[in-house]
Structure 1
Amino acid sequence: MYRTISFSICIFSCVVCVFVPAQAQVHADKDSTTYYGVASYYGSRFNGQLTTNGDTFDARYFTAASNILPMDQYVLVTNLRNRRKTVVRINDRMAAGNKRLIDVSEAVARRLGFRARGLTRVKVQLIPAWMINWFDLAALDSMQHTDDMK
């Protein structure tokens, strides 16, 4: 009997772990510059389409879509599974019913190590405007362009 109960609890836990992240709600810290939620990615089938801010989407660039984060904001995205980080620019919006925090390009998903998985829990931190001046953003964009899309 105990084995049956333990097995049932194990199965339930596995189901919860698999299905809950896709439905997870976005959580923001008190300072509203750090957000926690689920990230997904959109791939090269959207290449050439216009984004909300008028850019042409390219899956090789480090860009993202979000309904919560400010448009044209640079953010630091951290994959909470493996602690990989990268800087991306928000240049698009997601579908209205999408409950995820961020939808990143395929290049970002590769860099963060979740392309094969499709979804991951992330921490997203807004990069303050005064700090952006410290970066050469044109160089940052060109450095993060990946030609190894397969």
Structure 2
Amino acid sequence: MRPLTTSRLSITLGLAMDSLNAALRKAEALNASVSITIVDIGGRMIHMAHMDNAPLQSREIALNKARTAVGFGVSTSQWTERLQRCSPAVQQGLPLQPGMALFGGGEPFILDGQVIGAVGVSGASEAMDTQCAQAAIEHAQTLLQG
């Protein structure tokens, strides 16, 4: 008989808070004002920060980046390359889907090969957003391995 339920690990609020603070520290070091959102395995926001002077729209963009990263299990910065391998219909249609953010700043949290949540950062350049998101991931990996 096939299983009728599944069990999946998910990031905790404590890990989300610690990771978000690492991203905030990176943003401050870069002199950037950003929004940072952490989502659990189901894409539900569990922690968020909007820095002073960050653009208003960056809140929703950060959430979309996190949800895109958790949903597909890959960094949102990989989508430019990934879309080049797709049909023209997918290249044109996927970016138009509601809630999709197919540019840098979204990173999945991965534990033992399984996605357990994601972080999204928006408000600075794509490169800075990505650096801040990666700071959150690196900090989480240190804590999870510790």
TM-score by length of 1: 0.26
Structure showing the higher helix proportion among its residues? 2
TM-score by length of 2: 0.26
Q: Which is higher, the Rg of structure 1 or of structure 2?
A: 1
Structure showing the higher strand proportion among its residues? 1
